[in-house]
Amino acid sequence: MSEKIFIISGESSGEMYGASLIKELLLLNNSFEISGIGGQNFINAGAKILFNYSDINFIGFSAIIKNILVIKKRFNKCIEYVKSTNPSAVILIDFPGFNLKFIKEIRKFYHGKIIYYISPQLWAWHKSRVKIIQDYVDKMLVIFPFEVEFYKSENVEAKYVGHPLKERTDQFLIESANNKNNGDTKILTLMPGSRKEEVERILPVLLEASSILKKEFGLKLNLLCSGNLDKSFYEKFVTGHNIELIYHDGTKNIEFETIY
């Protein structure tokens, strides 16, 4: 009988890192049944998704209150899923507002492993939340070396596994060294975030500023678009701006795509 693994990501970067983790897990054992909260990257990596992470991804108090019933329904769906499938391991990726509440709830009935990959920045703010980690998490897999010492001082088992961007950056440097097509073009890439509310607030300001810089310095403009937002969403902002929309399809290095 194959082992089941359940993974929760709640935002674009976490979903990207989670997809890389899924690929590595399936290389280790292709009989793993991996499911989770994610998006197209999870699906492409070989996992089944319970629902898209955009269903629980909101920024700002008003947006959370407006969508609280949806969030609660999705939260309960995750609880029931763990109850019914009893996975060998539950893996959480950052996203503490959801995940810390989730692990407190499932520990009432779940006796498998709870692993936290990519720690919330408890060392920077709301350190009191480390008590939840102490009580409910079996192991922390951290991406900064100093986090091992932080958790050791709090009597939490932690292992440094490296930053997921390191391998991507190394590949980017190789690709950029081999690339011969960009010439002397100066490129400015706009990165307004991955949440709908973020983009709505930030992108108009970025476009206004970049238009001035484009005229002054002759720049080529790229806009890095989040995979969980439709193309039509971005198009309504960029009408009248000479800017290329960059979507990451998972087949190339995203850093390479944004500057060439």
Residues 30 and 138 in one domain: yes
Query: 107 is written with which tokens?
Result: 């520990």
188 and 151 within one domain:
no
Q: Last residue of a domain, which of 143, 162, 181?
A: 162
pLDDT of 64 > 90? The answer is no
Rounded to whole angstroms, the Cα distance separating 244 from 258 reads: 9
pLDDT tens digit string along 155-210? Answer: 999 999 998 877 666 555 555 555 555 556 788 989 888 778 889 889 999 999 99
102 with 224, same domain: the answer is no
**Does residue 259 contact residue 176 with C-beta atoms inside 8 Å?**
yes
Range of the domain at 227: 169-259
Pairing of strands 139-142, 244-247: unpaired
In CATH, what number is assigned to the domain containing residue 98? Answer: 3.40.50.2300
Q: Which of 28-42, 181-195, 204-218 has the lowest mean pLDDT?
A: 181-195
**Over residues 31-59, mean pLDDT:** 94
Candidates 236, 237, 196, 204; CA nearest to 63 is: 196
pLDDT digits (tens, 9 = 90+) for 233-247: 998 999 888 898 887
pLDDT for 95-120, tens place per residue?
Answer: 999 999 999 999 999 999 999 999 99
What backbone phi and psi angles, to 5 degrees, belong to 244?
Answer: -95, 130
**Same-domain check for residues 126 and 182:** no
Helix or strand or coil: residue 142? Answer: strand
The pLDDT of residue 254 is above 80:
no
How many structural domains does the chain have?
2
- Is the same domain home to 117 and 80? yes
- DSSP structure string for 28-56: H-TT-EEEEEE-HHHHHHT-EEEEEGGGS
Cβ atoms of residues 98 and 76 within 8 Å: no
Whole-angstrom distance, CA of residue 149 vs CA of residue 229: 38
The model's pTM: 0.75
Check whether residue 213 and residue 126 sit in a common domain.
no
Residues 153 and 25 in one domain: yes
Last residue of a domain, one of 113, 133, 162: 162
**Cβ(7)–Cβ(19) below 8 Å:** no
Decide which of 162, 185, 201 is a domain's last residue: 162
What is the chain's mean pLDDT, rounded?
A: 87
Domain co-membership, 148 together with 252: no
Q: 235 vs 26, 80, 170, 196, CA distance in Å?
A: 37, 38, 32, 13
Cα 59 to its chain centre, rounded Å, is 14
Q: Are residues 20 and 136 in the same domain?
A: yes
- Where do the H-state alpha helices sit in 86-195? 96-106, 130-136, 145-153, 164-178
Q: Are residues 20 and 78 in the same domain?
A: yes
β-pair partners for 33: 4
Report the 10 Å Cβ neighbour count for 146: 10
Same domain, 26 and 116: yes
Please give the helix or strand (H or E) that residue 218 lies within, else none. none
Q: Are residues 228 and 195 in the same domain?
A: yes
For residues 223 and 137, the answer to whether their CB atoms sit within 8 Å is no
Query: Two tokens at 113?
Result: 């492993």
Tokens at 124, concatenated: 């920077």
